Structure 1
């Protein structure tokens, strides 16, 4: 339901026609795996930590904020994995996600928070079913990781 109104006349505004910007973070530790959060809100399931970019913040700021809110981790963004914009990637509506790679400064403090029921590390070769297009994102990450560090990724995930 659209409850947005024109600030000048009070008339209902149409639903946005552009995709909404989101961010996700692939937080990877070679000995622990990748951080996933168990979503507390639909669509349910496991996902990369992330969320919507707030007005007035950069994508980088949003990624660091969302990770902190959902996992309790302080992260350093280490790169840009890619931008994912398939109109069907989110069943709630068209979003585009700027996906960063990151390292956690405090991996022992990992916990679920905000809209994450729980959070934990998973080995790249033993991931649970994932929400959104996060399986594809992690396949891309694993393929990139395998190129940089041959032999470091489970062959089933790298998807050569």
Structure 2
């Protein structure tokens, strides 16, 4: 049982998010965030009311990288209440492929393509452990 009382639980619920590991060229796309928390992140964001997870994933990828993605599969769901220090979120991570030219957009200051040996610092949220799961093929 968490420290929240029953009445608090009814008033607050975790917010659904999506993150997209985009296989691109010889690595995966990460964005450098314009907003707090600053650092590198897997492209993604909040699911809008009335939107499916898949639609949200494609929308967020396009907004942050300019890429039209093809979702390959759902990778994993991460639900640690501490994964985002701002609020309790639950993310569903998708694997995707994309062609074309990436550009930083929306709340991305820049983008980069990284491999397991070239990951940048800092990586925000729990995205480093998500990427480790991906690169270590923890499916």
Instruction: Give the gaps of 5 or more residues in structure 2.
Output: 1-9
- Aligned 1:122-137 pairs, distance under 5 A: 122-129=114-121, 130-137=123-130
- Aligned 1:60-79 pairs, distance under 5 A: 60-79=54-73
Match of 1:119 in 2: 111
**1:142 lines up with 2:135 in the alignment:** yes
Is contact 1:43–1:91 with CA below 8 Å preserved after alignment? no
CA apart distance, 1:51: 0.1
CA apart distance, 1:16: 4.8
Q: After superposition, what is the alpha-carbon deviation per residue over 1:68-90, rounded to whole angstroms, capped at 9, x for unaligned? A: 00000010000111000100000
Is contact 1:34–1:124 with CA below 8 Å preserved after alignment? no
CA apart distance, 1:33: 0.7
Higher strand share: 2
**1:88 & 1:127 partners in 2: Cα distance?**
22
Instruction: Give the gaps of 5 or more residues in structure 1.
Output: 1-14, 148-160
Q: After superposition, what is the alpha-carbon deviation per residue over 1:78-129, rounded to whole angstroms, capped at 9, x for unaligned? A: 01110001000001100000000000032xx111100111112112211012
Q: Which has the larger radius of gyration?
A: 1
How well do the aligned residues superpose, as a CA RMSD in angstroms?
A: 1.9
Moved over 4 A (4+): none
Match of 1:102 in 2: 96
Query: Which moved further from structure 2: 132-141 or 121-130?
Result: 121-130
**2:15 & 2:64 partners in 1: Cα distance?**
20
Higher relative contact order (CA 8 A, sep 6+): 2
- Aligned 1:8-47 pairs, distance under 5 A: 16-29=11-24, 31-47=25-41
**1:86 & 1:37 partners in 2: Cα distance?**
22
Match of 1:52 in 2: 46
